[in-house]
Amino acid sequence: MQKQEYTITVYTENHIGLLNRIAIIFSRRKINIDSLNTSPSEVPGIHRFNIVIDETEDVVKKLVRQIEKQVEVLKAYYSSNEEIIWQEMALYKVPTKQITQKVYVERLLRQHGASVVVIREDYTIFEVTGHREETDGMIKVLEPYGLIEFVRSARVAIIKESNGFHEKIKEFERFAPSDEVVENEYLNEQEHVFSM
């Protein structure tokens, strides 16, 4: 099987030390994490991890099973890039003097969907949101103008064919033990037979 980029989505309770235990699962198998993002999910009290790796599907399936064995993990999924909508955000710091002197840079920034975050006398910071190719492309555009600093966020992703995890939580609740006592009909019949 050929390696490709996968995004592993993990829904968890928010507990100290869980991120470390999940990271150990990858390091023991000598698998590099390309991107890692954690954030609250649509369900209060539940956090969501997006982990990007470059691996074969067989390896990814095994990783997901291992992650789900963690006590605080509620559910883990894996998706190819075609199965998700995803974005990354990048910030670029360039000398303001260079930007103001070169008027056509503004046109280049508009072509790349960049927006200005901060303008100071000594530097200007631009922001680009998009796929890796788009954020990398902006580096090439700004390098000739004295790119001072660059940083990119981790991937945020939403699974295309998903009703949301809150629906899964409702499913779990249907199967959870309730306070209501349900009598076993078989036992009741047996008690009736013995009492005769």
The domains located in the chain, with CATH, are 4-85+156-174 (3.30.70.260), 86-152 (3.30.70.1150)
Question: 162: pLDDT confidence band, cut at 50, 70 and 90?
Answer: confident
pLDDT at 165 > cutoff 70: no
Rounded Cα gap, residues 94 and 57, in angstroms: 40
pLDDT in tens, 177-189: 445 544 545 444 4
pLDDT at 76 > cutoff 60: yes
pTM for this structure? 0.76
Burial of 112 (0-12, 13-18, 19+ CB in 10 A): middle
Please give the span between the terminal C-alpha atoms of the chain, in angstroms, as a whole number.
67
| Mean pLDDT of the 5-21 span | 91
Of 94, 87, 88, 90, residue with least CA distance to 151: 90
Of 61, 6, 36, residue with least CA distance to 156: 36
Neighbours of 133 (CB within 10 A): 7
Question: What sign does the CA torsion over 171, 176, 182, 186 have?
Answer: positive
pLDDT at 73: 92
Q: What is the rounded average pLDDT for all residues in the chain? A: 84
